[in-house]
């Protein structure tokens, strides 16, 4: 069965779009070589880290981001430290 010219063009566009979305960022644009998501999950699991999501007020998250910029562990380390302090008290 032959396809119309517009159908062929649309298929080609979908194919190119899929290839573009699946491609990783070239090394020259990435600051460091980061592991993919699956590998990052393995690394986190080996370190005993568990993903934990919650909803917080916007002003609290702004304060956390400001403090995390100066914290050596980033936002994850800062939140862990603050939770440990709060639960110990």
Instruction: Give tens-digit pLDDT for 6-59.
Output: 988 999 999 988 888 877 766 666 566 667 889 888 988 998 988 888 899 999
**Structural tokens at position 30:** 């990435």
Mean pLDDT of 79-88: 94
Q: Where are the domains of the chain?
A: 5-88
Q: Categorise residue 18: left if φ over 0, alpha if ψ from -120 to 50, beta otherwise.
A: alpha
Q: Taking the model in full, what pTM does it have?
A: 0.53
């Amino acid at each position: 069965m032959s396809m119309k010219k517009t159908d062929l063009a649309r298929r080609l566009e979908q194919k190119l779009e899929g290839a573009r979305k699946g491609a990783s960022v070239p090394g020259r644009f990435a600051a460091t070589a980061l592991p993919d998501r699956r590998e990052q999950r393995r690394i986190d699991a080996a370190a005993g880290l568990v993903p934990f999501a919650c909803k917080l007020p916007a002003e609290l998250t702004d304060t956390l981001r400001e403090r995390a910029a100066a914290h050596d562990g980033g936002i994850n380390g800062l939140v862990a430290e603050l939770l440990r302090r709060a639960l110990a008290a």
